[in-house]
Structure 1
């Protein structure tokens, strides 16, 4: 039985969500189909990808190692199709690298680009991979927060504010605004520094200005999984998240608080070559997406 890209896509989605029902909703498939396809993939490769022995599923050791390969496989398949289409319709599709936490901005930007007649394919990968894909010519542009490699051309488009996500049993959970120095008294759930160095830079820099250091309590994986762990863990911990993303989501057992002093990450649209006309449209739409919602609504009414 040959390996099917559909099975790999389902596996990666379940790995992201760590929930068969949410993965099924994301893929617009019945949960039974998602579960069946994962089992078929496990039988094909001869290893279990998920530990189903508890109420919440988790990746096995093999699953954790294979999920990144699965993402690469899906990306390579998309590049294969994209390059074939590019030969047939040169300049037709703009390949745009994106990440988590863009909130309503992404929808606004894509609507703007569609109105301008641009066809866009978004590619969601970690920051370091976005830079590598840009340098390899597999992306036309990418949103990158914080550090941008010197070989790339960076256009500043907005600033992202960080807020604190805290479980309800955290001593600071009832506060609308928390002091960074107070947050530093409890461990944080953080993504590893090699995955998101810019986030570590801004958090460490903010704490260093107060003569403090961050204590890592556990590793951040996905929003859903990390929030679930924060709620269940007996030790009060917190995690920094992007305000633009959290403004649109509510999670049971998690409260969101503004941080003082404010912590912000600059966001850039990075490109490998000097911007052409269509990339200038992306830059303009990105900067406009950061305008106050009232100003955005007024400009959208002109479309």
Structure 2
């Protein structure tokens, strides 16, 4: 069997995500017949049917689902390779740090710049959706992440922990209390994926109105808090994030029964550059209490 063409894999992923050849072709800016031929060629190369197509729908087969799981990290690795080579060709070495909202990198960055004046340090703000992805696609060398994350293929170094608070509308029945228990929130609509607050799922609380309302995909903390302030639900945020985005129409209340949020440094286990090793060693000497 010949080597798999990365271009065909990109085409496959586009169709797999859209589950519609026409829309995928529009996203890829190619003609639909061309896309269909490329997918058939890929199926021939792999010796497997990837899509089950009818006049009304397009669905992934079991082989297609497996390929999608494997193709995404492969394409990310290829993109990371391209970024790193292009970056090196441009000249001065750049070291990029990803970081989540509420985390202040200044002490770590200043210490690292003093240790490695030969490097240009850049920073990229991440979200819960891409805090790990930035490592796989090469946008960042390391990422300061908030757990839980999928740690497969990563090296992790714990940095600090901080309490988590319930973000409630200012006129909420629990607003202004010194602290609450998670059971006090039973029946509330959670404006984030339950996996980000495992305690709620573990306690089998009805936090999404019996599951009838979908969890929205917010691109920022600001969007989430706008919905909280409007009375559309509640959210759970780490202390530093709640403090950074404090607003008068949202009440931040400590939840005593929630485990603290764990903040760690993450990087690809397969990467062992000197700069990465230096930064990983340095972060253990930073006083992170000064950044919150």
- 1:241 equivalent in alignment to 2:243: no
Could you list the runs of 5+ residues in structure 1 that have no partner in the other structure?
1-78, 194-199, 298-303
Asked whether the equivalents of residues 177 and 260 of structure 1 are also in contact (C-alpha less than 8 Å), the reply is yes
- Please name the residue that 1:224 is paired with: 222
CA–CA distance in structure 2, aligned partners of residues 110 and 95 of structure 1: 10
- How far residue 80 of structure 1 moved from its aligned partner, in angstroms, is 8.0
1:132 & 1:225 partners in 2: Cα distance? 21
Match of 2:254 in 1: 258
C-alpha displacement at 1:162, in angstroms?
A: 1.9
Name the counterpart of 1:182. 184
Which position in structure 2 is the counterpart of 1:131? 132
Q: How big is the shift at 1:226?
A: 2.6
Q: How far does residue 203 in structure 1 lie from its aligned partner after superposition?
A: 1.5
Match of 2:108 in 1: 109
SS of the equivalent of 1:228 reads helix
CA positional deviation for 1:253: 0.7
DSSP 3-state at the match of 1:155: strand
Structure 1 equivalent of residue 161 of structure 2: 159
For the residue of structure 2 that corresponds to 1:100, the secondary structure is coil
Q: Name the counterpart of 2:148.
A: 146
- What is the CA–CA distance in structure 1 between the aligned matches of 2:223 and 2:138, rounded to whole Å? 33
Residue 268 (1) aligns with residue 264 (2): yes
Q: Are the equivalent residues in 1 in contact too, given 2:170–2:248 (CA < 8 A)?
A: no
Aligned-CA RMSD value: 3.4
Look up the SS of the partner of 1:247 in the other structure: helix
Q: CA contact under 8 A between 1:146 and 1:267: conserved in structure 2?
A: no
Q: Distance in 2 between matches of 1:238 and 1:115?
A: 42
Shift of residue 264, structure 1, vs aligned partner? 2.5
Q: 1:207 & 1:128 partners in 2: Cα distance?
A: 20
C-alpha distance in 1, partners of 2:128/2:168?
Answer: 25
Aligned in 2, Cα 1:138/1:174: closer, same or farther, shift over 3 Å?
Answer: closer
SS at match of 1:282: helix
Which residue in 1 is equivalent to 2:200? 207
Indicate the SS of the match to 2:163: strand
Structure 2 CA distance for partners of 1:292 and 1:96, relative to 1, 3 Å: closer
Where does residue 122 of structure 1 map in the other structure? 123
CA distance in structure 1 between the partners assigned to 2:242 and 2:285 by the alignment: 20
Displacement of 1:239: 0.8
Secondary structure in 2 matching 1:189: coil
1:133 and 1:211 map into 2 onto residues whose CA distance is 33
> Of 77, 86, 89, which aligns to 1:87?
89
Normalising to structure 2: TM-score of the pair? 0.58
SS at match of 1:255: strand
1:282 to 276, 279, 284: 279
